[in-house]
């Protein structure tokens, strides 16, 4: 049986980009139980609703990531919302811990994916956006879309 190469995205956190300003991203391994990996391989539901990363006792933990229970599991499936340990280098954890202690920074998961047959999670050091920041971003995106449409149609006069 050959190992799977490359990257296969399982789930993506769409709300993270709208609610947060992404500063840095990190790739971390995730400690999972057998039925959870089976559920991810069979493309079961994964939900990022209210999920976050917290550093406790020098270890990174992913809270509230919902992985639907694997329906064919022979053993009792684990709690779908349990906290899962993230595998990061010590220096990355220390750096993140220092950044999170600064006011306004938080750690959020961006996506869960398979990389070379292993489950990985991309986490981001982020700062929450204010309502006026989101409105400004929507306004800019609207103007950009309008400009592209006019350039494409050849209606713009320089």
pLDDT-based confidence at 2, cuts 50/70/90?
Answer: very low
Q: How far apart are CA 13 and CA 100, in angstroms?
A: 20
Helix (H) or strand (E) holding 19: helix 14-19
Structure tokens at 77: 């499936």
Whole-structure pTM value: 0.75
Domains observed in the chain? 7-128 (2.40.280.10)
Cα-based angle 104, 108, 113 (whole degrees, multiple of 5): 160
148 CB-near residues (< 8 Å, 6+ apart): none
pLDDT digits (tens, 9 = 90+) for 102-143: 777 889 999 999 898 889 999 999 888 777 777 888 888 888
Sign of CA dihedral 130, 9, 109, 70: positive
Q: Are 74 and 82 in contact (CB under 8 A)?
A: no
């Amino acid at each position: 049986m050959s190992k799977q190469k490359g990257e296969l995205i399982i789930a993506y956190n769409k709300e993270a980009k709208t609610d947060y300003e992404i500063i840095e991203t990190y790739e971390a391994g995730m400690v999972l139980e057998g039925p959870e990996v089976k559920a991810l391989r069979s493309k079961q539901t994964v939900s990022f609703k209210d999920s976050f990363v917290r550093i406790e006792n020098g270890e990174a933990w992913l809270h509230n990531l919902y992985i639907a229970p694997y329906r064919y599991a022979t053993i009792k499936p684990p709690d779908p919302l349990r906290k899962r340990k993230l595998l990061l280098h010590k220096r990355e954890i220390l750096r993140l811990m220092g950044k999170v202690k600064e006011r306004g920074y938080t750690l959020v998961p961006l996506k869960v994916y398979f990389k070379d047959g292993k489950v990985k999670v991309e986490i981001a050091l982020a700062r929450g956006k204010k309502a006026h920041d989101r409105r400004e971003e929507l306004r800019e995106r609207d103007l950009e879309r309008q400009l592209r449409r006019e350039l494409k149609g050849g209606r713009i006069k320089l």
